[in-house]
Every structure is written in C-alpha cells, then in structure tokens.
Amino acid sequence: MATLDSHATYRPRGLGVSVGQGVLIALALLCVAGLLLLPLLVVFAEAFGKGWAVFVAAIADPDARTAVWLTLTVAAIAVPANMVFGLAAAWLMTHYDFRGKQLLGALIDLPFSVSPVVAGLVCVLVYGVNGWFGGWLDAHGVRVIFAVPGLVLATVFVAFPFVARELIPLMQTLGNEEEHAARTLGASGWQIFFRVTLPKVRWALLYGVLLSNARSMGEFGAVSVVSGHLPGLTNTLPLQVDQVYNGGSASAIAAAFALASLLALLTLLTLLIKRLVEWRHGGELAHPVRRH
C-alpha cells in the first residue's frame, strides 16, 4: 500500500514538472526572440531597406573599408596575445602553488567586473601624453593613445579572461599526472607542453580563442576612449557605425545599418564556428577523457 501511495503522489509531480518546463522554455524562446533575433532581423532589414546599391556604397566607402581592416588587424594582434596569456595563466594556476595565487585568479576576472570605459580611461592615464609614461613615449616618437597600439591595449584588456577561464577548469579536471610521467621519462618542458598538455586542451583553447575574438571585434567602450574617433585612422567598425549613424540623415542611417550588418555577420561567423566546436567536441569539453 505504501508503494501505491508513493506512485500516486509521483504522477502529479511529473505532470507539474512538465508544465513548468514548458513555461520556462516558452519564456526562454520569447526572450531570445524579442531581445536577440528581432533586433538582428531589424539590422539586416534596415541594411538592405534602401536597396543593394546603398548597401554596397556604404561598405565601399574608404573610411568604412579602413574601419573593417582596422577591426580585423586589432583582433589579429589582441587574440593571439590573449591566447598566450591564457595558456600561461592556466598552466600557472593549475600546476603550481604559490603565494598570491588567489590574487592572480581575481585579477584574471577583473575585466569582467570593470567597465570597458574605465579600462580605456586607465590606458589614457598611463600612456597618454600627460600620463605616467606618456612623456617618455612621446620623446621617443611612440604614440599609444589615439593610435593603433592604444586600440590593441584596450582590446587585450577587455578580452583576455576568456581563454584562461576556458582552460583553467579543464586543466584542473585533467590533472598533471601525465606531465609528471613525461618529465620522469626525460621529456623537456616544451616537449611536455606540445605533446602532452596542448593535445588535451586544444578544443577548449580554440573555444576560448573564438570567444575572445568575438569580444575583440565587437568592443566599443574601451576603444572609444583611446581612439579619438578619427575616421580612416583609429575608427574600428563599431566606432564607425556609431559615427555614421550620428550623421542623422536617412542615407547615413542606412549606411550605419549596412556596416552594423557586416559587423553582425563577422560575429555570427565566429559564433557559428564556436557552435560547431561545441557540437563536434562538446563531450571532450564537458567530460574530458583522461588517458592512461
């Protein structure tokens, strides 16, 4: 009888959970549609609303082409720098115990909590003409703020946690027994890294690089502070979109949406590759297999 009573109480609970799941799924889909898909569709609709000729003219504008090239250039410098830092930080956090380890972990997460605008202002304070090192840099003909180096520094700051935060949990799960075994067999540090560690974390590394790349290409706040908004010189694609849109005319707004659609396509391409990595190697990322 006790068994029958337990089954009688189980069925209504199962039904309640199903209804709750349906409500949560509906709310999630509504939020995704209203906050993500609809704005994205509006961007593309406005981009082509004035016709294909207006879209092509906006993309072919010299300042726009420079902005696209500058965005790709900054990302091409910032992302590898963050990859190297992420690998080094993850290795240090998971293979060694040292004083200040918790502080290093907090510093890695710092860009997640600090406003990008604040990051840009810090770059100006340190590397600007009137900053801590600005006078020395100017005397040696090196310009950081209102130039490409400043854009790179600001982008590196806002995007550098992504690689490290993908690698650290995975390396902690895998442990370092294989590295110790390889060292016992006489392998050098570089041999251990390239033949043992890197093959185990390669997909998580790629995942973090893709996230860092998406963040780098879409950054606005920090680069806005350090760029000076110089069309054709320091305007990345997000800054160019904002500047063109503020032109106010109908043609300017259409051009801004055309550039915004191009930026969205670059980001969507990065996210598509990210999803493919998750689909093909999601099990390895979530439940890594330890080889013996």
pLDDT at 284: 55
pLDDT at 83: 94
Average confidence (pLDDT) per 10 residues, the chain, 292 residues: 48 57 86 83 85 86 92 94 92 86 89 90 89 85 90 93 91 84 83 85 88 90 89 90 84 87 85 77 54 44
Q: 236 near 223, Cβ under 8 Å?
A: yes
Does domain 50-286 correspond to CATH entry 3.90.1150.10? no
pLDDT at 291: 46
Residue-by-residue DSSP string for 49-99: TT-HHHHHHHHHSHHHHHHHHHHHHHHHHHHHHHHHHHHHHHHHHHH---T
pLDDT at 292: 43
pLDDT at 48: 85
The single-letter DSSP state of residue 236 is -
d(CA 90, CA 202): 13
Domain boundaries, the chain: 1-47, 50-286
Q: Give this prediction's pTM.
A: 0.81
Distances (CA, A) of 175 to 105, 137, 162, 248, 290: 18, 44, 21, 57, 9
